[in-house]
Structure 1
């Protein structure tokens, strides 16, 4: 850019300089031409017949040297441009393969292709600068030190790039494994949540272990992603992933088979066991992929190290290549251009000298020709007098042929008169034909003009229709964009609804647990009331026996007479106390039976509530899945609407291009109409000129 601006400035300066000195150069050239060749230095020592060959030799030698030196300078300039282009490309490649290396570590297949291409192009460009190639020779010696440094730094990056390419299969497999891990993680989490819902409420340890499995599932996926996506690998993350895999597998076996070490019994519910077996199958594939990542951890660590080293070296490579580019831009052409200009000036001087010699020779020949022309002028005047009738249009005249210089002219004039006679006859015939053809062409031109005007009108109507179609498509594009915005709002609403349903499921699970706990306590209350009833029955039996004993004591007291009167009073009191106790016991029994009946009703109601909560949780889960499907469909719908918007936008651009083309076609058609109209006018003028030509040749006498 800078060189082109400098060239423009230099060209404008040269033009102004040429405008100023052109009058002076004209005067100098006039004086130079008037110089006598015999007075020129060096040439005046040579014979007249040797002057022109000597100057011509100097001209050819100087011109050849100027051309050779100019060509050599052009080659040097081309080499410099080639060096700059290659070094600039090396700058771009040093940054390109750095970015490709970062993507290659993540398992991107396209990045490996770019990495291999960049490595090959960089090596090819570097070898071309060092040893020559790609249209340029080897770099000059003073540039070889910088190229050596660049080659040393490149060797480090080249080994790292080759290492990444060698690990391509491993890295791609790890990326695919990570994608499958993320997919299986969602399945594992969904299965663990279903298992938690299906487990009975009294299996506390089993529920706790299932909840812990949900946490392990999320942590394993997070650690697997951290191992592949982070710049540096944390050994604790890899260790934690391995431990989580082992713990998850042991807990899963404990839930299926029971484990004394974990203190849990095997799950007995058939539905829960079915989900656990399904969880085991999914976890087997998950564990295989995660174990593969842990197994290839040394290769992954080495690949990340290579990528970091490539990134660290890229800045140094960029600095070195920029210095090389600046060095190549500073390469000059030396004195080649100076010598080329010098020999060009010598050639120009020789050309001027050759011109002076040629002008002198021409001046001498002109003097001799003037004398010869004077002799011939008299003969010509005689011939002109004989040609007087010919000037009046008489083509029957014959010039007298003599031995003088005009004899050949007279003979030629006679031949010309005969040819002119035939020409005039041909012109008369051609004028008639031209007039007839011009009439026919005028009719065709009028028809063509009418057709062109109709075509222009139709194209104008088509252009208006295309513009209207373009406006309609633009309106469709705006409607599609608005639909995409509404679809995105629907997707956000569906996501919020899914979150609310999931929160409701969690709340209903908590309610279920509370109802189950309340049911247990009510059952224990029923058992306690049953025990109270048994005690009340025992008290009733004791009361009956006490009443019998009191009755016997009263009989014995009556039999004893006066001596047993006091004991009789006591027996009566004991009997009344036993009767009150029996009445109290019957009331307590009735109350206990009422409590047992109410307790049984409460237990039955709690069990119904528990079942209702479970059914509600299942319905909420189904609603959550439906909302998830709605989210997926809404997301796809938003993508489709966005695609429709992009397509309609492209159609708008196409319609605008079509409208532009129609406008250009209309302009061309209008130009064609103008051309047809001008052609008709020209044909009319041609007919008039034909008539005028016929009138012009009518004066000749044949």
Structure 2
């Protein structure tokens, strides 16, 4: 805090020195301007003297010279004009320097007032900072009841932030105090955990006793299961023999069914061929119909030609020739139809024979299926007996499974309880040590702070 005060005073002193240096620099500038003005005045006086002397010399020369030439008079006028212009320029420069001097004087007066205001502002800021540091003196000693004064000067925002930080620190210390209460509650929970550990140990002993009884019951049940399994083995052997015979008969049935399937496939092929032949027959019939139509037309044309030709029988001859050709085509088509009809008949006969064979095979298959049914009936009877035995075995197995599950569950519970007991013991020891350490740290951390509630109790 003392270091802060020293730093603040050093900054204010530095600022005052900078203002004084600037003021001195402006004074030096004003003095330099005054010297320049004096030099200008001296220069103007010197030029005036020279002008006077030059004018006297010119007058004397004019008096001595008899010619009074025009060139000499012009030279004298030019010399005077130069002197006048030089004097005018010097006067203008003098006026500019006077104006600049006036501006510098005004700035000097403004800087003096600004420096006074700055010094006054620095003094007020220094007083505000010292006041804030004095108010915060108790805070460094752990007193959280202090409250910084929030003013309109430079330290107002700082004081507001400090008050906010003090309030947060109060909340933190209060939270730490509440945590101490929570630690006490945690110690109580630790005692409860210890009691639960004792109860768990007792429960573990009881479950171990129950597990031993369950194991004995499971052994008795396993003996009963072994006896029933022996009877099941004999029945299973007979079932295997009967099932083997039934499998053979079923295999024969399957073979017969395969033969039937082959014949049916062959029959379907031949029927397909019959369908294709029928399609060709349809095409040929359509062709015959076409030929018949054309024949009728040609016959009509021939009749017309015959009635109208007279000697022009040549046209009729052509028509007759065409009719003959159509007749030949019709005959050829008729032969093809006959051939196809024969083929269809042959295929039909073969299909009939094949279907008869299929029927015979189906009859044989039915016999085999009947025998297979008898074998299956025997298998069903044996399976019924097996089902009864298996049901009994299943019941016993279910009991064994249930007992085994109980044993497994009991063992798992024993292991879990044992693990929980061990873990709880370790956690309890660590928790007690940590609680002790935290209690000490908390007491040490909040021992140096004083809250508003504590200040009221002291009052």
Normalising to structure 2: TM-score of the pair?
0.32
Higher relative contact order (CA 8 A, sep 6+): 2
Structure number with bigger Rg:
2
